[in-house]
Amino acid sequence: MMKTAMERIGIVGAGMTGATVSSLLRAECADSKLLVLDKGRGVGGRMSTSRCVEAKSSSVDLGAQYISITEAYREKHQRFHNELISAGVLKNLTCEIEGERNQDSSVTHHVAPEGVSSIVKHYLNQSGAELHTSQHVTRVDIKGDKVELMSDSGVSYQCDSVVLTMPVPQILQLQGSIAEILNSKPDVKRNLEDVSYSSRFAAGLFYNPSTNLNYSWAGKYITGNPCVRFVSIENKKRNLTDSELGPSVVVHTSVPFSLEHLEEDKNAIVPTILQHLRDVLPELPEPTEIKGHKWRFSQVHKAYVNSPGCVILNERPLIILAGDGFTHSNMDGCIESAISTTEAMLKVLASKSNI
């Protein structure tokens, strides 16, 4: 554990990167106050798990579906993987994913029985961070030796250091001093503007316990349909056997379909998704409840140049930009960014303590 000055560290984004950063910082800076803000009503970011309101059904993963670990990361991030597996947060994926593109036998696949957001919750719980959801940060200002985070509801938070983990286009939309700093660093700003993401719609379908979905697969990649790209039977994917919960299904659209309809409301596009789903799975029964979601920023298509893990935008006070936009879009990409961010922050904090 490194001895550093008492700090209030603000982390914007309660997704995988933000949660892992908060956990790593807690281990290294036990006395620091950690604050995590997220614009959503819950945590998880693109590792989002949604529950039904009325149907007594299992939850759905509207974002990441399962965790694939390459041989290189299995060695590099072994302590993270082992911890999640030991805690029961991750288990081996034992069901069939039909049409899986990655046939590399060295890649292992894992599933989160409680939904992928449970991975994020695991690290947030470890950190003991002060968490505020429904706080959409729209302004970042430097006030003396502090950084002020301002939400769209007018609530402000004073921090000594800040880590911004939201999608890069949202960083570029921030108002306040941060916009002036970006304009003063044209190379950094240009590299940020070059980061791009794919977009997707998702729909969660919930069924009552009496519903039976008889498919040999738990997940299926769809080809030949202009809308539907992936379908998962969530309870089967997670190997859940609770007879008191009904099945649930999640549908992800293709990137071309999503780009074509990107400016449409998520609920307005759900009937179109369901119509295409009936073409693919005509025997699928009508759900009791449906939830739609739009991922304007889904997977990173083009990352920040050279994938540095994070970028120090301002050193005093410290502002770090992080997230999968600085690596790549999967759990290990987020862990990689979190490690880089923590190392960069500890280096700056240590130098402050020595002044």
Per domain, the residue ranges of the chain are 8-41+133-195+304-353, 197-300
What are the C-alpha distances in Å from 73 to residues 68, 70, 79, 81, 133? 10, 5, 11, 9, 31
- State the pLDDT at residue 353: 64
Determine whether domain 197-300 maps to CATH 3.40.630.30: no
Query: Count of H helices and E strands in the chain?
Result: 11, 22
pLDDT level of residue 2 (50, 70, 90 thresholds): very low
Identify which of 267, 324, 258, 343 has the alpha carbon closest to the alpha carbon of residue 296.
Answer: 258
Mean pLDDT of 186-215: 95
Cα distance between residue 324 and residue 334, in whole Å? 5
Is 23 exposed, middle or buried (CB count within 10 Å of its CB: 0-12, 13-18, 19+)? buried
pLDDT level of residue 289 (50, 70, 90 thresholds): very high
pLDDT at 186 over 60: yes
Identify which of 70, 118, 144 has the alpha carbon closest to the alpha carbon of residue 328.
Answer: 70
pLDDT level of residue 354 (50, 70, 90 thresholds): low
Mean pLDDT of 20-48: 95
Which of 26-30, 78-82, 87-91, 303-307 shows the lowest mean pLDDT across its residues?
26-30
Is 75 exposed, middle or buried (CB count within 10 Å of its CB: 0-12, 13-18, 19+)? exposed
Is 338 exposed, middle or buried (CB count within 10 Å of its CB: 0-12, 13-18, 19+)? buried
Which of 42-56, 72-86, 276-290 shows the lowest mean pLDDT across its residues?
42-56
- State the pLDDT at residue 309: 98
Say which amino acid occupies 145. D
Give the CATH class of 8-41+133-195+304-353.
alpha beta
pLDDT at 138 over 70: yes
Question: pTM of the predicted model, to two decimals?
Answer: 0.95
- State the pLDDT at residue 3: 45
DSSP annotation of 185 reads: -
3-state helix, strand, coil in the chain (%, to 5): 30, 25, 40
pLDDT tens, position by position, 41-61: 999 999 999 998 887 788 999
Tokens read off for 7: 């700090």
Q: Does residue 23 contact residue 127 with C-beta atoms inside 8 Å?
A: yes
Higher pLDDT, 283 or 55: 283
